[in-house]
Amino acid sequence: MLYANTNPILFRPGIRKDFRDRWDQYPPEYPNFMKTGTTSTPEISAATLTGPSRLYELGDGEPVSYEDIIVGPKAVAIDREFGLGMVVSRKAIEDDLYGLANQNAKWLADSARLTYEYRAAAALLDDAFTGTFFKSMDGLPLLSASHTLLGTSALFANMPSQQVGLSVTGITALIDLANHQVNQNGDPIPVNLDTLVIGNNAGDQNRALQIWNSELEPFTAENQENALRLRMTQKGGNMPSKGPVVSHYKSNPKSYFMIDSKFNDAHFDIKRPVEMEDTKDFDTGAYKYKVTTRFMVYVFDFIGWFGSNPT
């Protein structure tokens, strides 16, 4: 950015001091639905294995049979590098009457933060039904009506056959699917759906709060207990304790997800934290700033994730 390209408004007196030069941001959202961490390698490999399911009945004197473990396919996640820079001339800084021309570091820091949020929302939440960026261990999107399992020919669904909007009916459909959660042998396993992720849709946010916080069944005239609360709290289960998690960065405001955080296998791993560098160009005297980072977003196992993608 040369002096001639710098907005001359910064060089003129009489402008009010409270420039709208920076905006507040929402607290970090992606750690609410992804496991965050660091990595020292440029790629991470993952695989799943399973042992036998049940014993076989033996006749008198009949020997036992032996089975091998089943190992699923290996998946590899590779990090990506992101960066951006800004340049401001020395004259622009000298003539700036308001001290705003040389704020590149904070603007670039904000850009890095937003990159994390948008990348996590796009690569995981928006992609969960299509598998464009990432597929789960069976080669299907994270959410599918026909997931395949290692130890059985049976299929498993973690999305409803009909995509219903956020409602008592929609949440009930996801809980029904969760009640049929199985392991890789097709044997039932318990899940505790403790996280609800919704989009930036006012109607969905209001409905989620009513469903979660009402002692009586919402949206009905009958004075009866909220059956969803009873189902979620029976046998030690819980309603999502932190309330609905809103993702302001995913492109589809209507899709929603319920997750068991114990089984959640969606990851956001940072290889190189946000790194800020600056230098002065000897020939022009301009100040140059850049920010870079390396991270990976990936998901492998679909168990513990349930969602709906209404249009």
Domains in the chain with CATH codes: 26-51+70-308 (3.90.1690)
Other beta carbons less than 10 A from residue 256's beta carbon: 29
Model confidence at 209, in pLDDT bands (50, 70, 90)?
confident
The pLDDT score that the predictor gives to residue 271 is 95
* Residue spans of alpha helices (H) in the chain: 90-95, 104-120, 168-178, 202-213, 227-233
* Higher local confidence (pLDDT), 64 or 278: 64
Condensed to tens digits (0 to 9), the pLDDT of residues 143-160 reads 999 999 999 999 999 999
Which sign, positive or negative, has the C-alpha torsion 32, 37, 43, 44? negative
Of the listed ranges 37-41, 46-50, 180-184, 231-235, the least confidently predicted one is: 231-235
Model confidence at 231, in pLDDT bands (50, 70, 90)?
low
Q: How far is CA 168 from CA 21, 104, 202, 211, 247, in A?
A: 43, 47, 16, 7, 20
* Residue spans of alpha helices (H) in 50-149: 90-95, 104-120
Model confidence at 286, in pLDDT bands (50, 70, 90)?
confident
Which two three-digit tokens encode residue 120? 């996590």
Q: What is the mean pLDDT of residues 139-145?
A: 95
The pLDDT score that the predictor gives to residue 16 is 47
Condensed to tens digits (0 to 9), the pLDDT of residues 17-67 reads 555 556 778 899 999 999 999 999 989 888 889 999 889 999 999 999 999
pLDDT higher than threshold 60 for residue 235: no
Distance CA 131, CA 126 (A): 9
Q: How far is CA 201 from CA 126, 194, 208, 246, in A?
A: 15, 21, 11, 9
Q: How far is CA 2 from CA 5, 50, 87, 90, 287, in A?
A: 5, 62, 8, 9, 10
Condensed to tens digits (0 to 9), the pLDDT of residues 93-138 reads 777 655 666 677 788 889 999 999 999 999 899 999 999 988 899 9
Distance CA 32, CA 249 (A): 13
Q: What is the mean pLDDT of residues 184-211?
A: 88
The pLDDT score that the predictor gives to residue 1 is 42
